[in-house]
Amino acid sequence: MVSLQLTDLGAAYRGHKVFAEISTPALQGGQLVALLGPNGAGKSTLFRRIFGLLSGPGQIRIEGATAARPIAYMPQDNGARPVLSVYESILLARMQGRRLKVLPEDHAEVERVLNLLSITHLRGHNVGDLSGGQRQMVNAAQALAQQPQILLMDEPTSALDLSRQIDLMSLLHRLTREQGLLIIVAMHDLGHALRFADAAMVVNRGRMVACGPTHGVVTANLLREVFEVEARVEPCSKGTPQLVVEGRAAQPA
Ligand SMILES: Nc1ncnc2c1ncn2[C@@H]1O[C@H](COP(=O)(O)OP(=O)(O)OP(=O)(O)O)[C@@H](O)[C@H]1O
Ligand SMILES: [Mg+2]
């Protein structure tokens, strides 16, 4: 099983430090991890640092990887080339850094992810003509088509309608179980984190402030201190934990 461990990781843009000393235990394949934190906390930057788009201090240790490129990354805004068709854009994403010759198995993989995400009907559409949510589904397909063992997804459901949010999160959860993937999802929907994530890591003010099983991490205290809301986690009538938000926390004087 693949695992990913971060030790004292840091990142900066042109000398301006975003975060420092981010460490985690070895995050094991077979689980979905939520990456949480307020706007500007450094979630996207942490993904860029892990994926190797940014350099900086610290170590990223990957063990148990069998693929040549074990990590795939779905950026928050991927600036997809609008002139390509959906099919071509997924195929191109799959071919990144690999041989130039497209094999039958590459086409088969594109078909598989189109099916998996229920976007087969979009295959011939121009990426530039898609709605925001449709484009986000295509971005997810581009990442999945690389058949990663570790998948970093930056707010993959932010533009999706509610049923598609649930479909995508359920699919990701299923892939962790069936294929042993480690999937880390940056998200703002703490309800989804509580429902779908095995573990949560929280970044705030340049530090990792919590990392562990989701229900131990997403607590009233954390919601007040990191997200500045008065809220609590309570089981609904069916027993599923829900986030009940009362309002903004009082600002410290
Ligand atoms: N390319 C860049 N150049 C300079 N500063 C950047 C760059 N990208 C991000 N930053 C800064 O780094 C900090 C962290 O940004 P980042 O995008 O990682 O936050 P985030 O947690 O992903 O936020 P959000 O929830 O809004 O997506 C912010 O202060 C941001 O302004
Ligand atoms: Mg971000």
pLDDT band at 116 (very low <50, low <70, confident <90, very high): very high
Q: Whose CA is nearest to atom 4 of ligand 1?
A: 13
Give the Å distance between the CA of 77 and the centre of ligand 2. Answer: 9
Percentages (nearest 5) of helix, strand, coil residues in the chain: 35, 30, 35
- Under 8 Å between Cβ of 51 and 73: yes
Residue 253 has pLDDT above 70, yes or no: no
Per-domain residue ranges of the chain: 3-210
Our mutation pick for probing the ligand 1 site, out of 16, 17, 18, counting the most ligand atoms within 8 A of Cβ, is 18
Which long-range contacts (C-beta less than 8 Å, at least 24 apart) are formed by 160-166? 160/133, 160/136, 161/133, 164/133, 164/137, 165/189, 165/192
Cα–Cα distances (Å) from 243 to 23, 85, 194, in that order, read 27, 40, 8
Listed residue (87, 88, 98, 142) closest to 120, CA to CA = 87
- Looking at per-residue pLDDT, the higher value among 100 and 141 belongs to 141
How much is the average pLDDT of 205-226?
A: 96
Residue 191 has pLDDT above 90, yes or no: yes
pLDDT band at 251 (very low <50, low <70, confident <90, very high): confident
Residue 235 has pLDDT above 80, yes or no: yes
How much is the average pLDDT of 55-66?
A: 96
pLDDT band at 240 (very low <50, low <70, confident <90, very high): confident
CATH number of the 3-210 domain:
3.40.50.300
User: How many whole angstroms from its chain centre is CA 182?
Assistant: 10
Question: Ligand 1 — pocket residues by CB below 6 A?
Answer: 13, 18, 37, 39-45, 76
How much is the average pLDDT of 173-196?
A: 97
Is the whole model's pTM more than 0.85, yes or no?
yes
AA letter at 175: L
Residue 226 has pLDDT above 70, yes or no: yes
Our mutation pick for probing the ligand 1 site, out of 13, 78, 190, counting the most ligand atoms within 8 A of Cβ, is 13
| pLDDT (0 to 100) of residue 94 | 93
Element (H, E) at 107: helix 104-116
Residue 184 has pLDDT above 80, yes or no: yes
- Tell me the average pLDDT of the chain: 95
